[in-house]
Homo-oligomer: A and B are copies of this chain.
Amino acid sequence: MSMVDIGKKPTIYREATAEGIIKLKSETLKFIREGKVEKGDVFESAKVAGILAAKKTSELIPLCHPLPLSNVNVNVEANHKSVVAVKATVKAHAKTGVEMEALVAVSTALLTVWDMTKQYEKDKDGQYPTTAINNIRVLHKVKRSE
């Protein structure tokens, strides 16, 4: 088993943007918007968690290379009455792409939203009948010699 050998690939500008959503109860989103979530600021925490996770990508995904990320941007917003959307952009000058880093940032930010709103999402039996993470995708990748 082997990581792809990127030794001969040129070091060029790389950028990737990924996205994903989490479906929450509209009531939960109301709590978020009104700053009433007991555990603290959901969106700020999710952004921090996403950025930190991007930097852990090569620890989490076995065949990912450690890359010198020059930028990680994570945006979290409520874009519907019951959906929180996370978008992450990662940049690097590197020998391979950064889409896995963007995807790890998105996934971790979404899971952090879940964790911070757990108490409002659970039903009376402690189950999550409606909460779900969906549509994690890579929106676009850029590679460019500079």
Contact = CB atoms under 8 A, between A and B. Distances in A.
Contacts of A126: 97, 141, 143
Interface residues of A, number: 71
Nearest to A134: B134
B61 A112 contact: yes
Main secondary structure of the interface of A (DSSP, over half): mixed
Given A55-B59, A56-B60, A63-B116, A71 B6 contact: yes
Interface string A126-146: 111001111111101101000
Interface in A32-58: 39-41, 44-45, 47-49, 51-53, 55-56, 58
A2 to B, nearest CB: 4
A20 B3 CA distance: 20
A104 B56 CA distance: 14
A133 B133 CA distance: 9
Interface of A: 1-7, 13, 20, 39-41, 44-45, 47-49, 51-53, 55-56, 58-75, 91-93, 95, 97, 99-100, 103-104, 107-108, 111-112, 114-116, 118, 126-128, 131-138, 140-141, 143
